[in-house]
A and B are shown apart, each in its own frame.
Chain A
Amino acid sequence: DSGVTQTPKHLITATGQRVTLRCSPRSGDLSVYWYQQSLDQGLQFLIQYYNGEERAKGNILERFSAQQFPDLHSELNLSSLELGDSALYFCASSARQNSPLHFGNGTRLTVT
């Protein structure tokens, strides 16, 4: 158990809808990272937050957004969902700059 909690574990929704994925980092970890893993793309970095502020953006679509709250949990919002957004979404956290990342077990999103 990495200590990173993601909810829900599974999510099934229809095209055009909006969903919110939640991540609770390990206790005391200040950085949160979001990754997307689809069958054909591998693990892709989406976005990083550090202590509530956005630190880095990767291949995140404009339809997607994220935030990190004062209690350090993070949410990833996906809107106007398309079939191609079906994927595993992982959250990771790290204690401080350059520390190892520890990943949760992901949210499996299925868009029908």
Chain B
Amino acid sequence: DAKTTQPPSMDCAEGRAANLPCNHSTISGNEYVYWYRQIHSQGPQYIIHGLKNNETNEMASLIITEDRKSSTLILPHATLRDTAVYYCIVRAYSGGGADGLTFGKGTHLIIQP
């Protein structure tokens, strides 16, 4: 799976949009971009994933650049409960073999009151 690069930490003011960047310059055509977050010692929580089109759900939006070498996760109105470590993961489409996730170090997002 392609490697990802994320800033180790970010701050965002409560009520503002939090924009979390991720670089994945070696991504292949069959690899998806996934985002998870982990709130202190809880299990990682699935947020969103996409291949090349922008995606939106009730939690967040995912913007993937046209060349697919980077993406941005957007939390539109951050709250204190969004403070967590956010993981950007590139996951290859599996034809029947292993399809787990490889976690890096993520970005520690701190929402400031």
Chain A residues within CB distance 8 Å of chain B: 2, 4, 31, 33, 35, 42-43, 45, 48, 55-56, 58, 88, 90, 92, 94, 97-98, 100-106, 108
Specify the main secondary structure of chain A where it touches its partner.
Answer: strand
Option from A42, A45, A105 in Cβ contact (under 8 Å) with B101 = A45
11 of the cross-chain contacts (CB-CB < 8 Å) are: A33-B100, A42-B104, A43-B44, A45-B100, A45-B102, A56-B99, A58-B100, A98-B99, A100-B34, A101-B101, A104-B43
Q: How large is the interface on B (under 10, 10 to 19, 20 to 34, 35 or more residues)?
A: 20 to 34
Known: A100-B49, A102-B46, A103-B45. A56 touches B103 (CB 8 A): no
Q: CA separation between A45 and B94, bound complex, in Å?
A: 16
Option from B43, B94, B102 in Cβ contact (under 8 Å) with A105 = B43
CB-CB nearest 5 A-B residue pairs: A56-B98, A103-B43, A43-B103, A100-B46, A105-B43
Chain A residue nearest to B87 in the complex (CB)? A43
How near does chain B come to A87, taking the closest CB pair, in angstroms?
Answer: 11
**Given the complex, which residues of B lie within 8 Å of A48, measured CB to CB?**
98-100
How near does chain B come to A111, taking the closest CB pair, in angstroms?
Answer: 17
**Given the complex, which residues of B lie within 8 Å of A33, measured CB to CB?**
100
Quick one: CB contact mask for B17-44 with A, threshold 8 Å, 1 for yes? 0000000000000001010001001111
Q: CA separation between A30 and B90, bound complex, in Å?
A: 22
Chain B residue nearest to A102 in the complex (CB)? B46
Contact (Cβ within 8 A) B41 A42? no
Option from B34, B45, B93, B101 in Cβ contact (under 8 Å) with A2 = B45
Q: CA separation between A45 and B45, bound complex, in Å?
A: 16
**Given the complex, which residues of A lie within 8 Å of B103, measured CB to CB?**
35, 42-43
The reply to whether the CB of B113 lies closer than 8 angstroms to some CB of chain A is no
Q: CA separation between A42 and B43, bound complex, in Å?
A: 12
